[in-house]
């Protein structure tokens, strides 16, 4: 590898355009990565996932390759800041939320820990979608991240497969992105595309002909599934993903010396949520094609595969009508039927069957029977799976169930996004934490050091200013960096309860108008995309945006309260927002958030959590102690019991709590309707007042009480900063390096 960036550019650096500089850096890091080489070994993991939300790669790769400081130095000598080039890179749009970001963090940890592993997924041309706000509503347009520039992190390979579908065969091409390990070798993300994909199929917004599979197959992640054609397309996509993966796995295992009977010594497959489930029948099919008897093939595949469950929400546990599978992948149906018969022969309980009596194929059931491991993603979540959601499965396969509490990579979520904090930590406890995150605990010894607390508060202030500047550039929003940054950023979903936060803001606004001023001005910041066909989620966005306008227009109140919604929230926005946060909102309905990973990122960056006892919040609370987290609301047991009884009545809460009723009514008040769409606001109000399926109202008064306490505690800056420090010190457990070590020790055995 050459030492200087200028050796990768065609002209002197100070004469290069930004694009030329970026491309030179790309070639430099590419070559450095290749020189490091790839993690190799007899057994390799294939982490198959519909999403890999990898974020921009420039800074991350420079840090992991140890080139960051050198690159910054050489660029500044040429009068360019590295940060300017980061702005220039486009973010791969390959994921939706935590599930995809988790997969990306896992790839980083796998590479860093020296484990042989590939991520396998699809190269969606236009990703999820790009979100914009027009008339206080979300609009979706294609997120054409691939069209960018002349060069890319993604390399086309010579690997192609012919993938059989009902009535046609489509040829694939494999692309690769190097995944750099921190101070280590690399792994790879392998993304498949169909050669016939055609972006010209896309008409207005993100609409396209859903039936033209050959041309639309890899255009978007999660095409609209509110129609039959859209759902069928998902089946085609899922099969395309795993059919490629299965061929790759078998070819590579054979190349490493496997005779296929011993495949489990050469390959581990992790099925990330149910989207890659068809890899099970496909591997069985390919093994039998290559001469293995079906009974043996089934047992081999069961030993190879592990399944991770990421949610208890029924809507996300996929089930496909037999008719879809007959049409898209008729060659798999006989195998799926035989797998189902085996289950029926063994178990009488229809809950355990793969094909139900209405003709649906339950993907999670297929996974659980034909994998050797089933894991949840936080302790509480795994317990709920075992004792409630999947209890009949746990009764027959207790040995399969295990927990793997999620984690995040500290390279991206601290070293890269919050360099000032990383430096401050280095100066306090040395740099050992960069390799072993548990060493952050050493900060506890300094928890009363006033100088450290002062510097920590200073880092936060700088990050808040940086975010304020960014959001102004990004969307023209003006926010006060000295106000409290109260942040809720995650997918928009009713169970995550952005609407609870919304009702709090309304209540706060009404109190301010009555002269009850908060201790300090508060800026509530949201970041969230709503699935295009999820009407109520879009109504919630609409209400938040309208409320933001209403408060802005009220000159007296807007000094105290401000609402901002980050447009097109993604990894790059998160990297700016998370280090700037004071109060981290993790307010899902207890039992519904499998884990959460944003909660971990905020904590690591010195925010204090306001949350329900849900997902990984439970483990955060245990680690930091009651004084360093604000919890409220019904427990998961209470919620599960309330659902079981089925007698929840939102009206009863509205009738009993005047402040709540006033907040809900405000949704359709004159000022809101003046800046919004009456029908949408009314629909949201009606949904809450008559259904409120995710039980916002029962937690409302407790949420308000605890949030008020958090905001008033913030007035004592030293005491608050100490809480932040404890959160950072205790975050080591949530390193994805720890998570991956557990997966490897207990599931993969690489």
The residues annotated as belonging to the active site are: 310, 490-491, 496, 597, 601
- Our CB check for ligand NBG shows the closer of 173 and 595 to be 595
Q: Residue 646 class from Cβ within 10 Å (0-12 exposed, 13-18 middle, 19+ buried)?
A: exposed
501 in contact with ligand NBG (CB under 6 A): no
User: Given the rule CB under 6 A, which of 97-105, 326-334, 413-421, 532-540 is the region that contacts ligand NBG?
Assistant: 97-105
The values of phi and psi at residue 611, to 5°, are -155, 170
582 in contact with ligand NBG (CB under 6 A): no
User: What distance in Å separates the CA atoms of residue 274 and residue 319, rounded to the nearest whole number?
Assistant: 9
**CA neighbor of 603 nearest in space, from 611, 613, 614:** 611
DSSP 153-209: SEEEEEEEEEEEETTEEEEEEEEEEEEEPTTS-EEEEEEEEETT--GGGB-STT-B-
Which one among 128, 355, 377, 573 touches ligand NBG, defined by CB under 6 A? 377
- Our CB check for ligand NBG shows the closer of 193 and 619 to be 619
Give residues 405-434 in contact with ligand NBG (rule: CB under 6 A): 406
User: What distance in Å separates the CA atoms of residue 206 and residue 141, rounded to the nearest whole number?
Assistant: 5
- Our CB check for ligand NBG shows the closer of 273 and 619 to be 273
User: What distance in Å separates the CA atoms of residue 588 and residue 570, rounded to the nearest whole number?
Assistant: 20
Q: Please name the helix (run of DSSP H) or strand (run of DSSP E) that holds residue 445, with its range, or none.
A: none
**CA neighbor of 574 nearest in space, from 607, 538, 549, 610:** 607
Looking at residue 90, the DSSP 8-state letter turns out to be P
Query: In angstroms, what is the minimal distance from the CB of 101 to ligand NBG?
Result: 8
Binding mask 692-711 for ligand NBG (x = CB under 6 A): --------------------
Residue 616 CA from chain centroid, whole number = 14
Query: In angstroms, what is the minimal distance from the CB of 570 to ligand NBG?
Result: 15
Neighbours of 423 (CB within 10 A): 14
Give residues 383-402 in contact with ligand NBG (rule: CB under 6 A): none
| Count of residues in contact with ligand NBG, rule CB under 6 A | 16
Token pair 């966005």 is found at: 541
Which one among 102, 197, 487, 750 touches ligand NBG, defined by CB under 6 A? 102
97 in contact with ligand NBG (CB under 6 A): yes
* Crossing angle for the helix pair 617-624 and 717-729, to the nearest 10 degrees: 110
- Our CB check for ligand NBG shows the closer of 377 and 672 to be 377
Query: In angstroms, what is the minimal distance from the CB of 106 to ligand NBG?
Result: 10
Give residues 613-632 in contact with ligand NBG (rule: CB under 6 A): 615
Give residues 590-609 in contact with ligand NBG (rule: CB under 6 A): 593-597
- Our CB check for ligand NBG shows the closer of 201 and 316 to be 316
- Our CB check for ligand NBG shows the closer of 312 and 352 to be 312
Query: In angstroms, what is the minimal distance from the CB of 209 to ligand NBG?
Result: 28
Which one among 99, 336, 366, 747 touches ligand NBG, defined by CB under 6 A? 99
Which one among 91, 273, 539, 737 touches ligand NBG, defined by CB under 6 A? 273
User: Given the rule CB under 6 A, which of 38-46, 93-101, 382-390, 452-460 is the region that contacts ligand NBG?
Assistant: 93-101
User: Given the rule CB under 6 A, which of 365-373, 424-432, 589-597, 680-688 is the region that contacts ligand NBG?
Assistant: 589-597
Which one among 55, 92, 95, 98 touches ligand NBG, defined by CB under 6 A? 98
Bridge partners, 285 (sequence order): none
Looking at residue 387, the DSSP 8-state letter turns out to be I
- E-only strand ranges, 196-266: none
- Our CB check for ligand NBG shows the closer of 173 and 406 to be 406
Query: In angstroms, what is the minimal distance from the CB of 494 to ligand NBG?
Result: 13
Q: Please name the helix (run of DSSP H) or strand (run of DSSP E) that holds residue 149, with its range, or none.
A: none
Residue 223 three-state SS: coil
Find the DSSP H helices in 445-534: 450-475, 498-513
**Cα angle value 577/582/587 (rounded, 5°):** 90
Q: At 43, list the tokens.
A: 């057994």
- Our CB check for ligand NBG shows the closer of 378 and 728 to be 378
Indicate if the alpha-carbon torsion angle 219, 225, 227, 229 is positive or negative.
positive
Q: Residue 715 class from Cβ within 10 Å (0-12 exposed, 13-18 middle, 19+ buried)?
A: exposed
Query: In angstroms, what is the minimal distance from the CB of 95 to ligand NBG?
Result: 9
Binding mask 296-335 for ligand NBG (x = CB under 6 A): --------------xx----x-------------------
Query: In angstroms, what is the minimal distance from the CB of 444 to ligand NBG?
Result: 26
User: Given the rule CB under 6 A, which of 91-99, 182-190, 467-475, 478-486 is the region that contacts ligand NBG?
Assistant: 91-99
- Our CB check for ligand NBG shows the closer of 101 and 507 to be 101
Token pair 């010396």 is found at: 257
Q: Residue 425 class from Cβ within 10 Å (0-12 exposed, 13-18 middle, 19+ buried)?
A: buried
DSSP 582-638: SEEEE-PPTTS-S--SHHHHHHHTT-EEEE-S-TTHHHHHHHH-GGG-EE-S--HHH
Give residues 439-468 in contact with ligand NBG (rule: CB under 6 A): none
Query: In angstroms, what is the minimal distance from the CB of 310 to ligand NBG?
Result: 3
User: Given the rule CB under 6 A, which of 95-103, 397-405, 547-555, 574-582 is the region that contacts ligand NBG?
Assistant: 95-103
Residue 356 three-state SS: coil
Bridge partners, 134 (sequence order): 137
Query: In angstroms, what is the minimal distance from the CB of 376 to ligand NBG?
Result: 9
CB 578 within 8 A of CB 463: no
Query: In angstroms, what is the minimal distance from the CB of 213 to ligand NBG?
Result: 25
Query: In angstroms, what is the minimal distance from the CB of 605 to ligand NBG?
Result: 17
**CA neighbor of 600 nearest in space, from 626, 642, 629, 639:** 629
Query: In angstroms, what is the minimal distance from the CB of 307 to ligand NBG?
Result: 13
Q: Which residues bind ligand NBG (CB under 6 A)?
A: 97-99, 102, 273, 310-311, 316, 377, 406, 593-597, 615
């Amino acid at each position: 590898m050459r030492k200087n960036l200028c050796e990768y550019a065609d002209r002197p650096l100070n004469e290069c355009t930004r694009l030329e500089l970026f491309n030179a850096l790309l070639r430099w890091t590419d070559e450095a990565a290749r020189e490091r080489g790839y993690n190799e070994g007899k057994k390799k993991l294939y982490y198959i996932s519909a999403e890999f939300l990898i974020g921009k790669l420039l800074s991350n790769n420079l840090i992991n390759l140890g080139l960051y400081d050198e690159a910054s130095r050489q660029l500044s000598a040429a009068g360019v800041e590295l940060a300017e080039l980061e702005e220039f890179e486009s973010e791969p749009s390959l994921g939706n939320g935590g599930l995809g970001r988790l997969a990306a963090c896992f790839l980083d940890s796998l590479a860093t820990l020296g484990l042989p592993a590939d991520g396998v997924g699809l190269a969606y041309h236009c990703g999820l979608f790009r979100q914009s706000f027009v008339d206080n509503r979300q609009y979706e347009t294609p997120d054409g991240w691939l069209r960018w520039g002349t060069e890319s992190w993604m390399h086309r390979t010579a690997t192609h497969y012919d993938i059989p579908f009902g009535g046609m065969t489509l040829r694939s091409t494999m692309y690769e992105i190097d995944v750099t390990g921190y101070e280590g070798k690399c792994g790879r993300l392998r993304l498949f595309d169909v050669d016939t994909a055609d972006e010209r199929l896309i008409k207005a917004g993100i609409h396209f002909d859903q039936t033209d599979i050959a041309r639309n197959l890899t255009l978007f992640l999660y095409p609209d599934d509110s129609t039959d054609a859209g759902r069928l397309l998902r089946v085609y996509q899922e099969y395309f993903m795993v059919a490629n993966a299965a061929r790759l796995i078998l070819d590579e295992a054979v190349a490493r010396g496997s005779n296929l009977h011993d495949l489990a010594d050469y390959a581990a497959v992790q099925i990330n949520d149910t989207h890659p489930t068809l890899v099970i029948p496909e591997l069985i099919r390919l093994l039998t094609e290559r001469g293995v008897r079906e009974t043996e093939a089934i047992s081999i595949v069961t030993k190879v595969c592990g399944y991770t469950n990421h949610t208890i929400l029924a809507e996300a546990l996929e089930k496909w009508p037999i008719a879809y599978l007959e049409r898209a992948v008729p060659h798999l149906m006989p195998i799926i039927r035989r797998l189902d018969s085996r289950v029926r022969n063994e178990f009488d309980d229809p809950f355990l069957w793969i094909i139900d009596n209405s003709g649906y194929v339950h993907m999670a059931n297929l996974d659980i029977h034909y994998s050797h491991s089933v894991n949840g993603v936080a302790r509480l979540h795994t317990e709920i799976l075992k004792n409630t959601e999947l209890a009949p499965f746990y009764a027959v396969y207790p040995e399969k169930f295990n927990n793997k509490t999620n984690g995040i990579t500290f390279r991206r979520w601290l070293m890269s996004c919050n360099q000032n904090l990383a430096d401050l930590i280095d100066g306090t406890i040395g740099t050992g934490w960069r390799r072993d995150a548990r060493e952050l605990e050493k900060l506890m010894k300094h928890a009363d050091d006033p100088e450290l607390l002062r510097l920590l508060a200073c880092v936060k202030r700088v990050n808040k200013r940086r975010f304020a500047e960014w959001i102004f550039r990004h969307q023209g929003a003006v926010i006060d960096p000295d106000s409290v940054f109260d942040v809720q950023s995650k997918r928009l979903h009713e169970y995550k309860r952005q609407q609870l936060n919304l009702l709090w803001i309304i209540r706060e606004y009404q109190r301010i108008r009555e002269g009850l001023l908060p201790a300090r001005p508060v800026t509530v910041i949201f970041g969230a995309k709503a699935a295009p066909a999820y009407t109520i989620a879009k109504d919630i966005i609409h209400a938040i945006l309208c409320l933001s306008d209403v408060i802005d227009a009220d000159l007296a109140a807007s000094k105290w309260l401000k609402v901002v919604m980050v447009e097109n929230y993604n990894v790059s926005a998160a990297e700016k927002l998370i280090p700037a946060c004071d109060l981290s909102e993790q307010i899902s309905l207890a039992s519904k958030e499998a884990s959460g990973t944003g909660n971990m990122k905020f904590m690591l960056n010195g925010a204090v959590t306001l949350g329900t006892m849900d997902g990984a919040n439970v483990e955060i609370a245990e680690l930091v102690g009651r004084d360093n987290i604000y919890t409220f609301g019904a427990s998961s047991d209470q919620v599960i019991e309330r659902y079981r009884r089925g007698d929840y009545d939102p009206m009863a809460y509205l009738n009993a709590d005047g402040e709540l009723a006033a907040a809900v009514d405000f949704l359709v008040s004159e000022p809101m309707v003046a800046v919004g769409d009456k029908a949408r606001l009314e629909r949201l109000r009606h949904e809450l007042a008559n259904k409120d399926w995710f039980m916002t109202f029962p937690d409302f008064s407790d949420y308000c009480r605890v949030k008020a306490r958090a905001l008033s505690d913030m007035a004592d800056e030293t005491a608050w900063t100490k809480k932040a420090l404890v959160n950072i010190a205790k975050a080591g457990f949530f390193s994805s390096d720890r998570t991956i070590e557990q997966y490897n020790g207990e599931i993969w055995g690489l």
